[in-house]
Chains A and B, each alone.
Chain A
Amino acid sequence: MNWRRAAIAASLTIPVVALFAYGLTRDPREIPSPLPGNPAPPFALTVFAPGEPSLGRPIGDTIRLADLRGRVVVLNFWASWCLACRDEHAGLSEVARLYAGKPVTFVGSLYQDTPEAGTAWIAELGGQSYASVQDPDTRTAIDYGLYGVPETFFVSPDGQIARKITGPAEPAVVRHVIDSLLASASAAGTP
């Protein structure tokens, strides 16, 4: 054995291991979405679950993003077959009530599901405060680059996508995002 040479060669291990050690501290799944900061894709979708009168819309109404200019829009994609959607449901419904009377609109969009199953699911989970719409052909989900359900998009009053939450949305996070959007909107002078 030529130990001196071996030791020099063995020192090559250090940069490789350092690189991997650094890699272990990163989360490769944290992929920045290209959407935030860009105009929200328009949609016009039909309501199938009305929600509560103060927050929701009657069945059969069409909700258009274009009509919601000047408001913060929270667009939540969900499905009755999605387990994680159950976890966030009550919290989202509750947060929506907190913003009653403020320029904030919550919209649920049903993904790859039937309105009947969606309605039954809402009833099973004790109702939903805001309206849910159906998305036939999943066009809107494709426009928003949906990766899976649940996903929640925040549209600022000027029609830009401000933020996106992948997976169940925490009520505290949702409130924080809405508050900061409302604050920056009033600072900018829009109502």
Chain B
Amino acid sequence: MSGLAGLVGRGALLVSLAFVVTGIIAMPAGIRRGRRDWVALGYGAVFANFLLMTAAALAMITALVTHDFSVSYVAQVGSRETPLFYTIISLWGALEGSILFWAWVLSLYAIFVVWLNRDRPGNLVPYAATALLGIALFFAILLVGPANPFKVVWPVPPNGPGPNPLLQNHILMAVHPPLLYLGYVGMSVPFAFAVGAVLSGEAESDDWIRLTRIWTVASWGFLSAAIIAGMWWSYDVLGWGGYWAWDPVENASFLPWLTATAFLHSAMVQERRSMLRVWNLNLVVGTFVLTILGTFLTRSGIISSVHAFTTGTIGYYFLTFIAIVLVAAFTLVAGSSDRLRTTGRLDSAVSRETVFLLNNLFLTAFMLTVLVGTLFPLVAEAVRGVKVSVGGPFFNRMSLPLIAALLFLMGVGPALPWKSATRAELRAKLLPPAAGAVLLAVVALVIGLRDVFGVLIFALVGYAATANVREIWLGARARRVAHNESWLAAPLRLIAGNRRRYGGYIAHLGVFFVALGIAASATMRTEREATLRPGETLTLSGHTVRLDRLWAREERQRSVVGATLTLLDGNRPRGSLEPRMNFYPTSQEPVPTPDVQSGPFGDLYLNLMAFRPDGSTATIRAIHEPLVPWIWFGGGVVVLGALVGIWPAARRRRAVVVAVPAAPRLEGHAA
């Protein structure tokens, strides 16, 4: 077996580069000369690229699993002691493997784009496929050049160091990176459609926006899930009891999420009212640019971060690619903007359109704030030669008003009609949810929340959640009357009848859970640290834990020191917690494994900070984290909303849409 995987991998990457170049030349040339067979050749290249990338990825997995240390990537991240599961997922654990995985995901998206739109007339899809191959070309060059994971190592080492200890400590490492890549790379597809729409002259019609939407929702759903999974991983592995630190890499995943979220809303305005055409083009292109920027930040080592990959010359390749992408993006948007004049206009300041405009304003401001905070250390060093770091306080203070405004708008938007609203409509729609605001503010005070902003967030969530639930309830009630359906069937049929709209409301509800979880845990978290002897106890926020013993264990790939503690309810034991410290031979620092006791209203989080080697004492940090599980749950609800939003509608969809009686002013008035 030895050597074969490397050979297959190297060969597949080289041949795929040839196919990618062929496709990039053949499709535009075919369009220009009216040769559909050349375009078909380009589509063939898209499929060939996918097959070859799959072969390369499988070759790498084979090399990893068979411990073929003649392959450079395996020599770098593999080890015979690493458990099989972590060996397989180390495919994306270091730089070269992650680039390979990235290229594979991109090739997967490309075949779906081509296959699902194979019958579409016009030149949009060939151009879009060319753009996707153009992005693939960059990664193909990286893979045969500076990031080649299949370089030959000679003499073959007998063993390797194993993956980065932080990445072989938790099951979420199998989940978070693939989701992130699916979300990140998925944003290439809307960008490719934008390129295709402008080059084929279809940008003037709003059709490409419809085509783009489903891809954006899907990628957005993946990205949302990835961000939440990343938070969860950070919470469960890093041992500091937090889930978000405004680290550059976290910011890098959040930036395109913000612009993609803005686009999901403003795209509706373009579809309904033919407005915001240039703006939407900006958002689509900007989202893609931000994903490439994020990749650059994480892989070039340009900004200090816990997540950064090791680097080499690859930074300069990325720099060149960013320059090309930026030039292409600016050219695309600025060059075509005068053709994309808005035909619709804003009828009234009080309408759903206005709310979407404000939503876009705040989301963009949010994005710019995070971008400035992330890049500021670099700018400061370039301009004034000083080392600075921008920490949580800046981001928290800047983002809080924006988050508050966005939460409020999430309540107003669904309640307002398109075009314009009368005073009576406003009163009927906007006043009742205020009861929800009062209710949640009272709840916040009762559970002991005293921070003004915390209570404000609770109140705003109360308002917006009531408004969203009320929209669903009003629709369901109308259905119940009109179709004589049960209280169970009516809301389900309602949602099924307008998946896109109610998928959005469900995603909103998920965001509300996340907001409550963050607001409560950020303001009401309590923590204590104590050095305990076996038998001694530590009490925090009504929870008492007793240190039972300190133990050590040798495992194949690491040494583990752990503390066993019993959670006490009075004198009765109610559970056992086992925070651990893992010592890996390749790491200078131990990697903690905190233990978390989750309940519906919060977590008790224990981390082993230090210990006496003779086992006589252990220093334990205990943190009470209110409502943190709500963040993970809310993330799931957001993903559910995205799923509902893109789920293909059944054939009778058209009939059902007409039957939806929810909003009093819908399509009928638009003409």
Residues of A within 8 A of B (CB): 1-3, 5-10, 12-13, 16-17, 19-24, 26-29, 31-32, 81-84, 112-115, 117, 136-138, 147-150
Q: Is B301 an interface residue (CB 8 A)?
A: yes
A9 to B337, CA, bound (A): 12
Given contacts A9-B331, A9-B334, contact A20 B302 (CB under 8 A): yes
B330 touches A6 (CB 8 A): yes
Q: Measured between alpha carbons, how far is A113 from B337 in the docked complex, in Å?
A: 65
Residues B323 and A17 in contact, CB atoms below 8 Å apart:
yes
B534 CB within 8 Å of chain A: no
A27 to B311, CA, bound (A): 11
Stretch from B114-122, B581-589, B643-651 contacting the other chain: B581-589
B663 at interface by CB-CB < 8 Å: no
Apart from A6-B331, A10-B326, list 11 A-B contacts with CB within 8 A: A6-B334, A9-B334, A10-B330, A17-B319, A20-B302, A23-B302, A28-B301, A32-B387, A81-B583, A81-B585, A113-B613
Q: Are B330 and A83 in contact (CB under 8 A)?
A: no
Q: What are 6 residue pairs bridging A and B, where the CB atoms are less than 8 Å apart in the complex? A: A1-B331, A6-B332, A22-B378, A24-B315, A31-B387, A81-B559
* A138→B387 contact, CB < 8 A: no
CB-CB under 8 A for A8 and B334, given A84-B588, A114-B613, A137-B531: yes
Interfacial chain B residues near A113, Cβ < 8 Å? 613
Q: How far is the CA of A52 from the CA of B589 in the complex (A)?
A: 29
Is B394 interfacial (CB 8 A cutoff)?
no
Cβ contact of A148, chosen from B302, B316, B588, B614, cutoff 8 A: B588
Interchain CB contact under 8 A, A1 and B335: yes
Q: How far is the CB of B101 from chain A (nearest CB, A)?
A: 24
Q: Which residues of A contact B559 (CB under 8 A)?
A: 81
Quote the shortest CB–CB distance from B176 to chain A (angstroms): 23
- Given the known interface contacts A16-B326, A17-B319, A32-B387, the answer about A6 and B614 at a Cβ–Cβ threshold of 8 Å is no
Assess the A13–B613 pair: CB atoms within 8 A: no
Chain B residues in contact with chain A, CB under 8 A? Answer: 296, 300-304, 315-316, 319, 322-323, 326-327, 330-338, 375, 377-379, 381-382, 387, 531, 559, 583, 585-586, 588-590, 610, 612-614, 617, 619
- Do A137 and B619 touch (CB < 8 A)? yes
Query: For B332, what are the chain A residues with a Cβ–Cβ distance below 8 Å?
Result: 6
CA of A82 to CA of B331, assembled, Å? 53
- In the assembled complex, which residues on chain B have CB atoms less than 8 Å from the CB atom of A10? 326-327, 330-331, 334
Q: Which residue of chain A has the shortest Cβ distance to B328 in the bound complex?
A: A10
Q: Once the chains are docked, how many angstroms separate the CA of A16 from the CA of B289? A: 12
Contact present for B335 and A6 (CB under 8 Å)? yes
Q: Are B378's CB and A23's CB within 8 A?
A: yes
Query: Complex formed: what's the CA distance from A143 to B604 in Å?
Result: 29
CB distance from B384 to the nearest CB of A (A): 13
User: Are A138's CB and B610's CB within 8 A?
Assistant: yes
Q: Once the chains are docked, how many angstroms separate the CA of A82 from the CA of B559? A: 12
- A residues near B588, Cβ cutoff 8 Å: 82, 84, 148-150
Neighbouring A residues of B322 by C-beta, 8 Å:
16-17, 20
Residues of the A chain whose Cβ atoms lie less than 8 Å from the Cβ of B296? 20
In the complex with contacts A5-B334, A6-B334, A23-B303, A13-B326 CB distance below 8 A: yes
A3 to B327, CA, bound (A): 12
B382→A22 contact, CB < 8 A:
yes
Question: Nearest chain-A residue to B611 (Cβ)?
Answer: A112
A91 CB to nearest B CB, Å: 18
Chain B's nearest CB lies how many Å from the CB of A45?
A: 14
A146 to B260, CA, bound (A): 41
> A83 and B585: CB pair below 8 A?
yes
Measured CB to CB, the nearest residue on chain B to A28 is B304
- B586 & A83 in contact (Cβ 8 Å cutoff): yes
Nearest CB to that of A116 among chain B residues? B613
Specify the chain A residue showing the minimal Cβ separation from B327: A10
Residues of A within 8 A of B617 (CB): 137
Inter-chain contacts of A136 with B (CB < 8 A): 612
* A12, B303: Cα distance in complex, Å: 22
| Residues in A neighbouring B315, C-beta threshold 8 A | 24
What's the minimum C-beta distance from B430 to chain A, rounded to whole angstroms? 41
- Nearest A-chain residue to B325, judged by Cβ: A13
Residues of B within 8 A of A138 (CB): 610
- Given that A19-B382, A148-B588 are contacting pairs, would A24 and B319 also be in contact in the complex, using a CB cutoff of 8 Å? yes
Bound Cα distance A150, B589 (Å): 10
Once bound together, how far apart are the Cα atoms of A82 and B333, in whole Å?
54
Cα A131 to Cα B590 in complex, Å, equals 25
A162 and B146 alpha carbons, distance in the complex (Å): 40
Within the assembled complex, what's the spacing in Å between the Cα atoms of A1 and B195? 12
Q: How far is the CA of A12 from the CA of B316 in the complex (A)?
A: 19
Assess the B382–A2 pair: CB atoms within 8 A.
Answer: no
CA distance A137 to B336 in the complex (A): 66
Inter-chain CA distance A81–B589, complex, in Å, is 10
Query: Which of B333, B379, B531, B610 counts the most A-chain CB atoms under 10 A from its CB?
Result: B610
Are B334 and A24 in contact, CB atoms less than 8 angstroms apart?
no
CB–CB A13/B378 < 8 A: no
- B444–chain A nearest beta-carbon distance, Å: 37
Closest A residue to B318 using CB positions: A20
For residue B332, which residue of chain A has the nearest CB? A6
Q: How far apart are the CA atoms of A22 and B302 in the complex, in Å?
A: 9
Q: Which residues of B contact A22 (CB under 8 A)?
A: 378, 382
Whether the Cβ atoms of A13 and B334 lie closer than 8 Å is no
A19, B338: Cβ atoms under 8 Å?
no
State A49–B400 Cα separation when bound (angstroms): 55
B326 cross-chain contacts in A, Cβ below 8 A: 10, 12-13, 16-17
Complex Cα–Cα for A29 and B332 (A): 37
Q: Output the least CB separation between A96 and chain B (Å).
A: 22
Report the minimal beta-carbon distance from A79 to chain B, rounded to whole angstroms: 9
Say how far A168's CB is from chain B's closest CB, in angstroms.
10
Instruction: Report chain A residues within 8 Å CB of B590.
Output: 112
A9 to B303, CA, bound (A): 26
Q: Which residues of A contact B336 (CB under 8 A)?
A: 1-2
Instruction: Say which residue of A13, A19, A23, A32 sits within 8 Å of B327 (CB atoms).
Output: A13
Given the known inter-chain contacts A29-B304, A81-B583, please indicate yes or no for A20 contacting B319, CB distance below 8 A: yes
Are B319 and A3 touching (Cβ within 8 A)?
no
- How far in angstroms is the closest Cβ of chain B from A34? 12
Name the A residues within 8 Å of B610 (CB-CB).
Answer: 112, 137-138
Residues in chain B near residue A2, CB distance under 8 A = 334-338
Cross-chain contact A13 with B323 (CB below 8 angstroms): yes
Tell me the bound Cα distance from A136 to B381 in angstroms. Answer: 40
Given contacts A17-B326, A19-B382, A112-B590, contact A28 B302 (CB under 8 A): yes
Q: Which of A17, A28, A137 has the most CB of B within 10 A?
A: A28
Expressed in whole angstroms, the Cα–Cα distance for A32 and B612 within the complex equals 31
| Residue ID in chain B nearest A14 by CB atoms | B323
Compute how far the CA of A17 lies from the CA of B302 in the bound complex, rounded to whole angstroms.
12
Report the minimal beta-carbon distance from B161 to chain A, rounded to whole angstroms: 9
Partner of B330, one of A9, A23, A32, A115: A9
B609 to chain A, nearest CB (A): 9
